[in-house]
Structure 1
């Protein structure tokens, strides 16, 4: 049978040949698809870099900063409280004025004991109300603090006098005294009495809770008028 006598059209014959070729060579379609696959891989390779790659590229050639000559910032409240017994020994060695010792009578302490959890408060009549409220709130920065735990009454007395003198020498007017709040509150009672008698004390209050609460007092002192470091 000749091609002219075939009942199939030329288009149908071409389709038939293509079908036979696909059956005879099943991998030919995959081979034809390979250029498309390579194109897709090339496109993936040429994608824009991510943020990590960009950051690494930006840091190339950058040197670490030399911070060896940067001064450290020191918090004035970070230093340890002076040891009360050391202050007492220093007071004995330097010889605090007798008039200071004479002012601090123990009679008032014996007659007016305070409770362990009592909140202490004292101010002279002429002190400004705002200053006193700032002291109560802990807004006034204290110069130095002393911890009286473990002290005898006499050591505690000397330590209190010594730290007041230290503040006066540095023309500072706020100190902190940690007296504790044991069951009998002995040192707390004596500190309450001594500070009320001291001529340089303008006011004192139990510290805010975060600064010791009823186990410590913040003390406001007079400025040292004749201190050579004092500049009115």
Structure 2
């Protein structure tokens, strides 16, 4: 069929060609810039709860023996038997010169009550040290209980425990004198300690350590003099 035999007019053929161009696929060169980029999401791995706990517990050791902490409790110091000290001193004949040096007159002239707080210090003692003695911060070395003692036994026991502390180079002792209605032994202890040359201070003990029924005594530290060898 020739062009002249076409049943389509020229205008219709133009429209047909234009329509064919619109519906025919157009081959275009590959353009990577116009293509949607492929995004690869990186997987972020977060630590789980167990890993976080293990990191936080690094360096922490488990308690042994059923997870109970072992607390060492020191046994309290034993009180010396005052009557035994007095008998031993009498048998050995020690401290006779000190016994005569301690007068009972000062004690009798200055009686104290059973609930009275005792307090004494030498002028040379630092206030800080005295405060530590009053608050019980200075640990005592030995204690003696004067309950049941006569006045003479009590005086000997006081001198004896001071000598024991000096021999061990200790500075703090506790004397339990009690607080009876008349406070007889307490009055004597108050007078004796004020006269003793080795006593720097004494105070009624804190409530947990005996209160007004006992005194904490600070004594001079024993100085050992080394003799030069000839």
Normalised TM-score (structure 1): 0.65
CA contact (8 A) 1:169 1:227 kept: no
Higher Cα radius of gyration: 2
Q: Which residues in structure 2 correspond to 1:1-232 (within 5 Å)?
A: 75=74, 78-226=76-224
Between the aligned partners of 2:111 and 2:118, the Cα distance in structure 1 is 12
Q: Is the 8 A contact 1:171 1:227 kept in 2?
A: no
Per-residue Cα deviation, 1:28-52 (whole angstroms, up to 9, x for no partner): xxxxxxxxxxxxxxxxxxxxxxxxx
- 2:158, 2:215 → 1: CA distance? 12
Name the CA shift for 1:154/1:227 in 2 (closer, same or farther; >3 Å): farther
Structure 2 vs 1, CA of residues 120 and 78 (structure 1 numbering), >3 Å: closer, same or farther? Answer: same
Supply the distance in 1 between the matched residues of 2:104 and 2:225 (Cα, whole angstroms).
30
CA distance in structure 1 between the aligned counterparts of 2:77 and 2:203, rounded to whole angstroms: 23
1:75-108 per-residue CA deviation (whole Å, 9 max, x = no partner) reads 2x61320111011111112222332112211001
Contact 2:95 2:159 in 1 (8 A): no
Secondary structure of 1:126's counterpart equals coil
Q: Which runs of 5+ in 2 are unaligned?
A: 1-63, 66-70
For structure 1, the residue ranges without an aligned partner over 5 or more in a row are 1-63, 66-71
Q: Distance in 2 between matches of 1:226 and 1:113?
A: 37
C-alpha distance in 2 between matches for 1:137 and 1:226: 30
Q: How many residues align?
A: 158
Using the size of structure 2 for normalisation, the TM-score is 0.65
- 8 Å contact kept, 1:88–1:159: yes
For 1:74 and 1:222, how far apart are their aligned partners in 2?
Answer: 30
CA distance in 1, matches of 2:201, 2:173: 11
Return closer, same or farther for 1:170/1:74 CA change in 2, 3 Å cut-off.
Answer: farther
Structure 1 vs Structure 2 CA RMSD: 1.9
